[in-house]
Structure 1
Amino acid sequence: MSIKPNSFVIAEASKCVGCKACEIACFRAHSNGVKKPLTVGNIKTPIIPRIHVIKNEKFSVPVQCRQCEDAPCANACPIEAIKQEDNVMVVNEKACIGCKACVMACPFGAIEVRSESEDKPKIAYKCDLCKGQETQACVKICPKKALRLFDPIEEKKRRSIEAVCNLPEEF
């Protein structure tokens, strides 16, 4: 268990237009070193993003992993394939058996079990904050800036500074 709370990507539904650019950017960021540009004509595998945009007539909002410190998905995994590494909950895709226990345990609906192709086993996919990359692809690509990385420690510092700055002068 980590002492520092995990950061996670948060969405502002009022800004999201449902364009799904975040889904494509996520897929691209996790396409294991593909160098050529990905277009409709050259993608051979299913697009499996680790963020999902829910859209209806009234709103659209991306849903992604909240990087829970005491993660229900990790606690439910019978083989411990979901672990915390450097304050990020990650799936060991080589160990995952595709049992879907994590899917049922996630209160946010942010984990999914799929296969890249019919000849490959089904495994769990979830946001890993683009682990090993400089920035989160979904945050970087969002045209309306509806997504941002939420760091609980930085947010607490920001709110503390705001509170001190807004103290009455007689204090």
Structure 2
Amino acid sequence: MKLMPNVKLCIDCKRCERICPNNGIFVVEGIPIKCMHCEDAPCMNACPENALIRLNGKVVVDKKKCVGCGLCIEACPFGAIRMDYSSGKISKCNGCAKKDVELCKLVCPTGALDYSEKTVENKQKELVSKLKKIYSYI
């Protein structure tokens, strides 16, 4: 099951951001942006180096293979992949693939990170589209 942010419950406290060891989740306008670990992941299909792999059902980055081309960033419909300029590699949520529960879910005081909310996908896509339009003018 996918961990889905419930935007109705998010209070923008950013605890999920602070706990994430990969800086893989961030909150924008009360919408937690994180990897949805898509079944047919566009980011995996876009990566020419096969640096995005599945581990325990989660899409994770193989940092040894990542060349920092950014094609996965463009392919992600949720805006959940960022460039880590200090390493020249991408950074994204790995779904705490080696843990039983995602850390962001554990620290959320309102239960906004759940395994059931579906409307976030559309809201997240709308926000990402809006941000891409804004930043394309800069």
Q: Does 1:53 align with 2:47?
A: no
Which of 127, 138, 147 is residue 93 of structure 2 equivalent to?
A: 127
TM-score by length of 2: 0.78
Q: Is the 8 A contact 2:43 2:52 kept in 1?
A: yes
In the alignment of these two chains, the number of paired residues is 116
Which of 146, 158, 161 is residue 112 of structure 2 equivalent to?
A: 146
Cα deviation, 1:65-101, whole Å, max 9, x if unaligned, reads 1111111000000111001222111110121011100
The within-5 A match list for 1:1-171 is 7-27=1-21, 30=22, 49-55=23-29, 60-115=30-85, 117=86, 121-150=87-116
- Using the alignment, how far apart are the partners of 2:33 and 2:60 within structure 1? 17
Q: Is the 8 A contact 1:76 1:101 kept in 2?
A: yes
Runs of 4+ in 1 over 4 A off after TM superposition: none
Q: Is the 8 A contact 2:82 2:92 kept in 1?
A: yes
More helix by share: 2
- Quote the RMSD (CA, aligned, Å): 1.3
Of structures 1 and 2, the larger Rg is shown by: 1
- Corresponding residue of 2:133: none
SS in 2 for 1:66: coil
- Using the alignment, how far apart are the partners of 1:69 and 1:14 within structure 2? 25
Q: Is the 8 A contact 1:8 1:65 kept in 2?
A: no
Identity across matched positions, percent? 38
Gaps of 5+ in 1: 1-6, 31-48, 151-171
Q: What's the offset of the Cα at 1:122?
A: 1.2
TM-score by length of 1: 0.64
